[in-house]
Amino acid sequence: MTRAFIPRLRARGRGGMILTSSVEALIGCPWSAAYSASKALVRALGEALWAELRQDGIDVLTLCPGATDTPALARMGLDAARMPHVMPPAAVAAMALDRIAEGPTLISSEHYRATFDRLLAMPRDQALLALAARMR
Ligand X SMILES: NC(=O)c1ccc[n+]([C@@H]2O[C@H](COP(=O)([O-])OP(=O)(O)OC[C@H]3O[C@@H](n4cnc5c(N)ncnc54)[C@H](OP(=O)(O)O)[C@@H]3O)[C@@H](O)[C@H]2O)c1
Contacting residues toward ligand X, per CB under 6 A: 20, 22, 65, 67-68, 70-73
| Four-point Cα dihedral 107, 19, 74, 94, nearest 10 | 60
Q: How far is the CB of 45 from ligand X (least distance, A)?
A: 13
Name the region of 3 (left: φ>0; alpha: ψ -120 to 50; beta: rest): alpha
Q: Which is nearer to ligand X, 54 or 120 (CB)?
A: 120
Q: How far is the CB of 71 from ligand X (least distance, A)?
A: 4
Q: Which is nearer to ligand X, 71 or 123 (CB)?
A: 71
Q: Which is nearer to ligand X, 6 or 40 (CB)?
A: 40
Name the region of 38 (left: φ>0; alpha: ψ -120 to 50; beta: rest): alpha
Q: How far is the CB of 52 from ligand X (least distance, A)?
A: 22
CA distance 40 to 29: 10
